[in-house]
Copies of this chain bind each other. A is one copy, B any other.
Amino acid sequence: MHESTTPLSINLLIFLLSAFLGLGLIRRVSKLLHTPLMSLTNAISSVSVVAALIVMAEPKNKMIMIFATIAVALAATNVISGFMITERILRMFKKDHGGKTP
């Protein structure tokens, strides 16, 4: 995707479709799960690690490299802890007394 530039209008379309889709999907999440939803989306928002990696590929100078490296570390922290905490929380939800997670 980095070889050619996509017209802005197409990216806009993708943005709008994602926004509609996201609004519809989140509305349907059970109230029971709002806390793990927050930690999950928190992890997903760290997709910015992708941006950091792109910038880091060919940095023009040291400062850019340092900024991007810090960003990768920060985002990686979020990714790891975000998905792991979500998993930890979700494992707790059980339907029956003493039953195992489905």
List B contacts of A13 (CB < 8 A): 14
Contacts of A9 in B (CB 8 A): 1
Partner of A6, one of B10, B17, B18, B25: B10
A21 interfacial by beta-carbon distance below 8 Å: yes
Shortest CB-to-CB span from A30 to chain B, Å, is 16
The residue in chain B whose Cβ has the minimal distance to the Cβ of A25 is: B24
A22 to chain B, nearest CB (A): 10
A7 within 8 A of B: yes
A-B contact pairs, 10 of them (CB 8 A): A1-B9, A1-B10, A4-B7, A6-B10, A10-B14, A13-B14, A17-B18, A21-B21, A21-B24, A24-B24
